[in-house]
Amino acid sequence: MSRETGATRRLWKFHGGVHPPQHKEISTTLPVSAARMPARLVLPLHQHIGEPAEPTVAKGEKVLKGQMIARPQGYVSAPVHAPTSGTIADIGDYPVPHPSGLSAACMVIEPDGEECWMERQPIEDYTTLPPSELRNLIREAGIVGLGGAGFPAYIKYNPGHQKAIQTLILNGVECEPFITCDDMLMREAPGDIIGGLRVIQHALQARECLIAIEDNKPQAIAALRQAVAGYDDIEVVEVPTLYPQGSEKQLIKVLTGKEVPADGLALNIGVVCANVGTAAAVHRAINRGEPLISRYVTITGSAVGAPRNLDVLLGTPMRDLIEECDGDLGRIERLIMGGPMMGFALHRHDLPVIKTTNCILAATAKDLPPQRPELPCIRCGACADVCPVNLLPQQLYWYSKHHNLDKVQEYDLFDCIECGCCSYVCPSNIPLVQYFRYAKGDIWTQEREKEKSDIARRRHEFRQLRIEREKAERLAKRNRKKSALKADTAMAERDKKKAEIQAAIARTQARRQAAMKEAEKRRKSFGKEARGPMDETPQQPDNASDNERKE
Ligand code: SF4
Ligand code: SF4
Same structural domain, 305 and 359: yes
Q: Examine the pLDDT at 409 and tell me if it is beyond 80.
A: yes
Same structural domain, 97 and 174: yes
Q: Evaluate: CB of 408 within 6 angstroms of ligand 2.
A: no
Residue 18 placed within a domain: no
| Ligand 1 atom 5 nearest Cα | 379
Which among 61, 252, 68 is positioned nearest to 171, based on CA atoms? 252
Confidence of residue 531 (pLDDT cuts 50, 70, 90): low
Confidence of residue 162 (pLDDT cuts 50, 70, 90): low
Cβ neighbours of residue 261 closer than 8 Å, sequence gap 6 or more: 268, 269
Residue 132 placed within a domain: yes
Which among 81, 58, 85 is positioned nearest to 69, based on CA atoms? 81
Q: How far is the CA of 426 from the centre of ligand 2 (A)?
A: 12
Q: Examine the pLDDT at 205 and tell me if it is beyond 80.
A: yes
Residue 97: DSSP 8-state: S
Kindly report the CATH number assigned to the domain that includes residue 286: 3.40.50.11540
* Closest ligand 2 atom to Cα of 415: 7
pLDDT in tens, 422-445: 999 999 999 999 999 999 999 988
Same structural domain, 335 and 439: no
Q: How far is the CA of 433 from the centre of ligand 1 (A)?
A: 12
Q: How far is the CA of 496 from the centre of ligand 2 (A)?
A: 94
Residue 535 placed within a domain: no
Residue type at 206 in one-letter notation: A
CA distance 148 to 166: 25
Residue 372 placed within a domain: no
Best substitution site from 392, 408, 421 to test ligand 2's pocket, by max atoms within 8 Å of Cβ?
Answer: 421
Q: Name which residue leads in pLDDT, 25 or 447.
A: 25
Confidence of residue 163 (pLDDT cuts 50, 70, 90): low
Q: Examine the pLDDT at 209 and tell me if it is beyond 90.
A: yes
pLDDT in tens, 326-378: 999 999 999 999 999 999 999 999 999 999 999 999 999 999 988 899 999 99
Instruction: Kindly report the average pLDDT of the chain as a whole number.
Output: 91
CA distance 271 to 259: 11
DSSP labels for 473-502?
A: HHHHHHHHHHHHHHHHHHHHHHHHHHHHHH
Q: Evaluate: CB of 387 within 6 angstroms of ligand 2.
A: yes
- For residue 348, the model assigns a pLDDT of 95
Residue 198 placed within a domain: yes
Q: How far is the CA of 440 from the centre of ligand 1 (A)?
A: 20
* CA separation, residue 520 to residues 236, 325, 513, 526, 527 (Å): 143, 141, 10, 10, 11
* Closest ligand 2 atom to Cα of 393: 3
pLDDT in tens, 469-510: 888 888 999 999 999 989 998 999 999 999 999 999 999 999
Q: Evaluate: CB of 235 within 6 angstroms of ligand 2.
A: no
Q: What is the pTM of this model?
A: 0.81
How many domains are contained in the chain? 2
Confidence of residue 548 (pLDDT cuts 50, 70, 90): very low
- For residue 544, the model assigns a pLDDT of 42
| Ligand 2 atom 7 nearest Cα | 416
Same structural domain, 432 and 478: yes
In terms of Cβ atoms closer than 10 Å to its own Cβ (0-12, 13-18, 19+), residue 226 is: exposed
Q: How far is the CA of 336 from the centre of ligand 1 (A)?
A: 26
Strand partners for 274? 170
- Lowest-confidence range among 83-92, 227-236, 463-472, 511-520? 463-472
Which among 190, 153, 165 is positioned nearest to 77, based on CA atoms? 153
Q: Examine the pLDDT at 112 and tell me if it is beyond 70.
A: yes
Q: How far is the CA of 274 from the centre of ligand 2 (A)?
A: 23
The dihedral formed by the CA atoms of 376, 380, 385 and 386, expressed in degrees to the nearest 10: -30
Which three-class secondary structure state does DSSP give residue 265?
coil
Same structural domain, 346 and 407: no
pLDDT > 70 in the chain, percent: 94
Same structural domain, 198 and 276: yes
Ligand 1 environment, Cβ below 6 A: 377-383, 393-394, 397, 426-428, 430, 432
Same structural domain, 390 and 342: no
Confidence of residue 536 (pLDDT cuts 50, 70, 90): very low
- For residue 454, the model assigns a pLDDT of 75
Structural domain boundaries, residue 392? 381-520
| Ligand 1 atom 1 nearest Cα | 426
Q: Examine the pLDDT at 132 and tell me if it is beyond 50.
A: yes
Q: Examine the pLDDT at 540 and tell me if it is beyond 70.
A: no
- For residue 462, the model assigns a pLDDT of 85
Which ligand ends up closest to the CA of 408?
2
Confidence of residue 549 (pLDDT cuts 50, 70, 90): very low
Confidence of residue 538 (pLDDT cuts 50, 70, 90): very low
Residue 186 placed within a domain: yes
Q: At which of 337, 363, 389 does a domain end? A: 363
pLDDT in tens, 307-330: 999 999 999 999 999 999 999 999
Confidence of residue 136 (pLDDT cuts 50, 70, 90): very high
* CA separation, residue 46 to residues 50, 68, 103, 137, 336 (Å): 8, 14, 11, 20, 19
Q: How far is the CA of 427 from the centre of ligand 1 (A)?
A: 7
Q: Evaluate: CB of 195 within 6 angstroms of ligand 2.
A: no
CA distance 466 to 462: 6
Same structural domain, 336 and 408: no
Confidence of residue 530 (pLDDT cuts 50, 70, 90): low
Q: Examine the pLDDT at 551 and tell me if it is beyond 50.
A: no
Same structural domain, 310 and 435: no
- For residue 528, the model assigns a pLDDT of 65
Phi, psi of 105 (to 5 degrees): -65, 130
Confidence of residue 161 (pLDDT cuts 50, 70, 90): confident
Q: At which of 333, 363, 393 does a domain end? A: 363
Q: Examine the pLDDT at 413 and tell me if it is beyond 80.
A: yes
CA distance 169 to 267: 12
Which ligand ends up closest to the CA of 395?
1
Q: Evaluate: CB of 520 within 6 angstroms of ligand 2.
A: no
Same structural domain, 99 and 221: yes
* Closest ligand 2 atom to Cα of 418: 1
Same structural domain, 90 and 204: yes
Same structural domain, 421 and 316: no
Q: Name which residue leads in pLDDT, 520 or 140.
A: 140
Q: How far is the CA of 378 from the centre of ligand 1 (A)?
A: 6
Q: Evaluate: CB of 432 within 6 angstroms of ligand 2.
A: yes
CA distance 313 to 278: 15
Q: Examine the pLDDT at 4 and tell me if it is beyond 60.
A: no
CA distance 93 to 237: 44
Residue 527 placed within a domain: no
Residue 546 placed within a domain: no
| Ligand 1 atom 4 nearest Cα | 380
- For residue 314, the model assigns a pLDDT of 98
Q: Examine the pLDDT at 457 and tell me if it is beyond 90.
A: no
Q: Examine the pLDDT at 550 and tell me if it is beyond 80.
A: no
| Ligand 2 atom 6 nearest Cα | 419
